[in-house]
Amino acid sequence: MSWVEAIAVTLAALVGMELFAWWAHKHIMHGWGWAWHRDHHEPHDNVLEKNDLFGVVFAAFDIALYLIGALYWEPLWWIALGINLYGVLYALVHDGLVHQRFFRFVPKGGYAKRLVQAHKLHHATIGKEGGVSFGFVFARDPAKLKAELQAQVKDGLAKVRESAGG
């Protein structure tokens, strides 16, 4: 496999992970995996959350792809690298910037502020039903997300925390 192909496969996997993460967040974490994800949506002072188990599962899958790629089919190794890079971005952006688990920085503008606003709108709902902004790195316009969330509340599809203002 050429370097150009390897880089293309890695970048495709990295971008594809945002699509997978959106799907998994909406349908697994806010579905049958809610028992692990719930504490991520509730206030707490714990260093770790049950939600962190998703990272362990995804890391184990990624390690398996690295091994299979190294032993049998090289493109899987480069796919694993793209997934791994996404995991690093996720940790820095979602855990670090949005939830401030690693550092304290409140963005005053730009895309970083948009990410934080979109994710706060996601966390405004109570329970696993309803909600907006299930991605982690791509953030839609917060004004549109707020309107979408208000429509969900009006239609009875979501409940918003009182502290969120809804």
Q: What is the pLDDT of residues 78-132, one digit of tens each?
A: 999 999 999 999 999 888 888 888 878 888 889 989 998 998 888 888 888 888 8
84 and 7 assigned to the same domain: yes
91 and 21 assigned to the same domain: yes
Q: Is it the case that residue 28 has pLDDT exceeding 50?
A: yes
> Computed over its alpha carbons, how large is the radius of gyration of the chain?
17
Q: What token pair was written down for 61?
A: 């899958």
116 and 95 assigned to the same domain: no
Number of domains in the chain: 2
92 and 121 assigned to the same domain: no
Handedness of CA 58, 60, 65, 70 (dihedral sign): positive
Yes or no: say if 62 and 88 are a contact pair by the CB < 8 Å rule: no
pLDDT tens, position by position, 140-163: 899 999 999 999 989 988 888 776
Yes or no: say if 49 and 38 are a contact pair by the CB < 8 Å rule: no
User: Where in the sequence is the domain holding 164, given as residue range(s)?
Assistant: 107-166
Yes or no: say if 152 and 140 are a contact pair by the CB < 8 Å rule: no
Report pLDDT for 166.
Answer: 44
113 and 100 assigned to the same domain: no
Report pLDDT for 52.
Answer: 93
Report pLDDT for 99.
Answer: 84
140 and 160 assigned to the same domain: yes
Three-class secondary structure of residue 5 per DSSP: helix
